[in-house]
Amino acid sequence: MGQDSMPTHTGKKSRRSFLRQTVTIGGALLADGAQGWLGSHGTFAAVPPQSRLVISRDPNLRSTPTSLDSARLINCLDRAIQALHDCDSPLEAWRKVVRPGDVVGLKVNCLAGRGNCTRPELVNAICERLQQAGIKEIVIWDRLNSDLESARFKIVERGSGIRCFGNDVLGFEEELATFGSVGSLVAKTLTQACDAVINLPVLKDHGIAGVTIALKSMFGAIHNPNKYHVNVCNPYVADVNMLPPIRQKVRLHICDATTAQYEGGPSFMPHWTWPYNGLLVSHDPVALDYTGWQIIEKKRAEVGMKSLQEMKREPAYISTAADAQHRLGTDDPKFIKVVEV
């Protein structure tokens, strides 16, 4: 990237694609904020004054206790994405997130294996809609091939169309990306293989961080997440999300809350899960994490468990992510417009 002294984390881009992206971003920023928000290459779009978060639920989402009804799931997804962008059709909404020609990465969360991971059925539904919206190349990714396989994803490293592989395939950038307390190598899957990333976390508590939802899912994009599981992962989760490659490319968060977990995470603890049967969708990962945290706390209270604060693992990283140094979103419920569909 010329003489720029910052780490070469933005990957190889031609001048033409850089200029094309910049012009498109300018156009998007002039549009009504409710119609979409595209991350920019080299600039950070300001978080809108009120964050919109859509919760889309369907009590009949499951065809069996362990399997999802694909038709109902895609319907759930469509309602969510349309409501988020105030559009009449899902494809119109998706086209506000991605552009034809983008290589779209779907960051899934497979740490807990098939018991509580981003469901392949949801990923299939998203792929279907992306392809209909004109996206030809999709990369489903997480930390390791073995993680993906444990969650029933099939590894496809080469070819065109839809690929699926872990960061262990392409490895990591060689220069550190730094912000605040973190210095990490970012996965080349994100920096070089994708133009845009849609984050697909799950909804569960975490034994150290409090909860692990949208923001913490991006620990899967760096080489050394183990170094940041101290001090309730604060400020590390927020700082990781400030690393330029991550902040620039992640465009949307769709939390798979079909099965949620309120205790024992991140491992899969079936006796502490419940069928929430929903999706939480937002451009604002802080608002999403805050809302997801409240959902978990409510469930814990229902079953007579102590709150995360009482357990000394309140997710402090959420307020850090919203502070003046980060501005990754808002954790103030007054500024989170929750739309339930």
Partner 1 sequence: MATKYDLRLLEAQVPPTEPAGLACDRRSFLRAASLPCLAACAGAVIGHQNAVPLFAAPLAEDDSQFVKEARFYEKQAFRKIKCKLCPRGCAIDDRERGYCGVRENRGGTYYTLVHSRVVTAHIDPIEKKPFFHFLPGTVAFSIATAGCNVNCKMCQNWDISQVRPEQVRSNYAPPERVAVLAQQNNCPVIAYTYSEPVVFYEYVADTAEAAHRLGVKSVVVTGGYIQQEPLEKLCRQVDAIKVDLKGYSEKFYKEVVNGELKPVLDGLVTIRKHGVWNEIVYLVIPTLNDSDAEFHGLAKWVRSELGPDVPVHFTRFHPEYLLKNLPPTPVETLERAKAIADAEGLHYVYVGNVPGHPAENTYCPKCRKIVVERTGYTVGTVHIHNNKCQYCQQPIPGVWRA
Q: Which residues bind partner 1 (CB under 8 A)?
A: 111-113, 144, 168-172, 174, 176, 178, 183, 207-208, 223-224, 226-227, 229-230, 264-267, 269
Residue 145 C-beta: closest distance to partner 1, Å: 9
- C-beta of 134 vs 207, nearer to partner 1: 207
Residue 146 C-beta: closest distance to partner 1, Å: 9
Residue 169 C-beta: closest distance to partner 1, Å: 6
- C-beta of 97 vs 182, nearer to partner 1: 182
- C-beta of 24 vs 178, nearer to partner 1: 178
Strands (DSSP E) along 81-234, which ranges?
103-107, 137-142, 162-166, 177-179, 182-184, 196-199, 202-206, 210-212
Residue 239 C-beta: closest distance to partner 1, Å: 12
| Distance between CA atoms of residues 251 and 39, nearest Å | 6
- C-beta of 284 vs 314, nearer to partner 1: 314
Q: Is residue 108 classed exposed, middle or buried when 0-12, 13-18 and 19+ CB atoms within 10 A define those classes?
A: buried
Residue 150 C-beta: closest distance to partner 1, Å: 9
- C-beta of 41 vs 206, nearer to partner 1: 206
What value, to the nearest 5°, has the Cα angle with vertex 73 and ends 247 and 219?
A: 25
| Distance between CA atoms of residues 114 and 150, nearest Å | 6
Q: How far apart, in Å, are the Cα atoms of 99 and each of 31, 134, 264?
A: 15, 8, 39
| Distance between CA atoms of residues 113 and 122, nearest Å | 15
- C-beta of 58 vs 263, nearer to partner 1: 263
| Distance between CA atoms of residues 297 and 292, nearest Å | 9
| Distance between CA atoms of residues 277 and 144, nearest Å | 27
Residue 267 C-beta: closest distance to partner 1, Å: 4
Among all chains, which residue has been given the structure tokens 């098939």?
114
